[in-house]
Amino acid sequence: MEKFTAPRHLLTRRRLLQLSGMSSMGLLLSSCGTQLLSESVGSLTEPLNLKVGELLLKPQTPVPEFPLSAIQPQALLINTYDFTPQIDPVKFRLVIDGEVNQPMQLSMADIQKLPLTSMVIRHVCVEGWAAIVQWGGVRLQDLLNLVQPKSQVRYAYFQSADNYYESWDIASVLHPQTLLAYQKNGQPLSADNGAPLRLAAPIKLGYKQSKWVTRITLTSNLSSKKGYWIDQGYEWFGGI
């Protein structure tokens, strides 16, 4: 089966952010759950952020990881606003659809048959805290290889059981350290941390890492609804 890869570009995202003066602004606009600036500022900068965020030179370059001894078990804060979904892992099905050749519904047993990837990375929230965490799960690029995305796909939407929604650029989705995690620090993921599946990646800020993911929809275009916090004025790309 041919492996799905993202198109290559000419400039690094970080360099283009530096050139455009958007790096600091992006951090101010981002949040793991608390609004930092007004929606009007986000609306002003969003069109540039959408374009800047897509320009990645080496989207497959791994981020350096930490040893197991660096894990900070108590440092990962939990932001739960309305309720914590209680999902039966036996009945659970992950839907992957959209612009794909083989849409699928996968059980947790199906997902856990795929290669387990474990990584110790820093989870970063611009509210002012960070935590070194070990995540274990399946790489999103392995899941996408199963459904065979069409060549025009540029984005992925993530829908969660608590009605949270997010969208990512396809290069970030295909990064080798972007996981749908079902383990934290070597143990099964708990409900308040996003069980049975949550996004985990060292290349995105915390508010981009959806919990309780139930559906992934691949698309060539972003709709007017780009993400729960993005639609309230935060930066879309949310990268680090």
- What structural domains and CATH numbers belong to the chain? 64-225 (3.90.420.10)
pLDDT tens string 139-177? 999 999 999 999 999 999 999 999 999 999 999 999 999
pLDDT tens string 40-91? 334 444 445 655 655 544 667 899 999 999 999 989 988 666 689 999 999 9
Tokens of 31: 């949040």
Instruction: Report in angstroms the alpha-carbon separations of 237 from 25, 151, 162, 169, 207.
Output: 12, 21, 22, 8, 11
What number is the average pLDDT over the span 11-23?
Answer: 36
φ, ψ of residue 162 in degrees (nearest 5): -95, 15
